[in-house]
């Protein structure tokens, strides 16, 4: 799982995604979802139960609901138009943006999925709540971008021949579908695991 997560990060950050020539906001959102909704859960699952699992080593730091609110703040702040544009213009700001997405995603997913089996089940309610809250705010932000009647992220000269508003709508749809589905699936999976364990215990 760890190698799969690292491979997704390499695909998103190094090659081929940055070289595909997609419109800038669609590229950004594809990269964002690859980091937080694919790579982060794969890494969290791979770390679960190992000596690098912070749920086992520092359970007090790994509270799922605070992690969910932290990710909400990070995602919404970085999608403020001024900060988003700065991250497109300056490499070090973009690196900071992507690193914060990864760290926030790892914190949330490992808080929800990490630890030994008994720890994970004991923390299941908080984990499910956190993942569903995140699914909701990802869906909301994606929907707002899809229905926005004006361009929030002007992309000249990066847009080339692409229409900026269409690019923005496509990026919002990527967030709505991929982000919402990934976190919802995580919450449903945790719920199913907890219910199955309770049935076996009876």
pLDDT of residue 161: 67
pTM, 2 dp: 0.91
Q: Going by C-beta distance under 8 Å and a sequence separation of 6 or more, which residues neighbour residue 38?
A: 5, 8, 182
- Burial class of 13 by CB neighbour count within 10 A (0 to 12, 13 to 18, 19+): middle
Q: Which residue has the higher pLDDT, 160 or 36?
A: 36
Tell me how many domains the chain contains.
1
Residue 190 has pLDDT above 80, yes or no: yes
Domain containing 114 equals 2-201
Helix axes 180-201, 91-113, angle to 10 degrees: 20
Angle between helices 124-147 and 91-113 (to 10 degrees): 140
> What is the distance, to the nearest Å, from the Cα of residue 110 to the centroid of all Cα atoms in its chain?
12
DSSP secondary structure letter of residue 50? S
Q: What is the pLDDT of residue 46?
A: 93
Instruction: Assess whether pLDDT exceeds 80 at residue 100.
Output: yes
Portion of the chain with pLDDT greater than 90, in percent: 61
**Averaged pLDDT, 2-31:** 85
Tokens of 65: 């609901």
- Segment 5-26 shows an average pLDDT of 83
- Mean pLDDT, the chain, whole residue set: 89
Backbone φ and ψ for 127, nearest 5 degrees, come out as -65, -45
């Amino acid at each position: 799982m760890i190698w799969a997560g690292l491979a997704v990060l390499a695909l998103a950050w190094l090659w081929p995604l940055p070289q595909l020539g997609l419109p800038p906001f669609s590229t950004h959102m594809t990269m964002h979802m690859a980091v937080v909704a694919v790579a982060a859960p794969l890494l969290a699952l791979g770390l679960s139960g190992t000596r690098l699992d912070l749920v086992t080593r520092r359970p007090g730091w790994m509270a799922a609901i605070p992690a969910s609110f932290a990710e909400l703040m990070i995602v919404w702040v970085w999608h403020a138009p001024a900060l988003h544009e700065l991250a497109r213009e300056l490499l070090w700001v973009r690196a900071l943006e992507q690193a914060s997405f990864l760290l926030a995603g790892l914190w949330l997913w490992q808080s929800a999925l990490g630890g030994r089996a008994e720890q994970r089940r004991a923390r299941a309610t908080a984990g499910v709540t956190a993942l569903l809250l995140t699914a909701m705010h990802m869906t909301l932000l994606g929907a707002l971008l899809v229905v926005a009647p004006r361009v929030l992220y002007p992309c000249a000269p990066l847009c080339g021949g692409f229409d900026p508003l269409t690019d923005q709508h496509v990026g919002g749809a990527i967030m709505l579908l991929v982000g919402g589905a990934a976190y919802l699936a995580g919450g449903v999976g945790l719920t199913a695991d907890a219910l199955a364990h309770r049935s076996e215990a009876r």
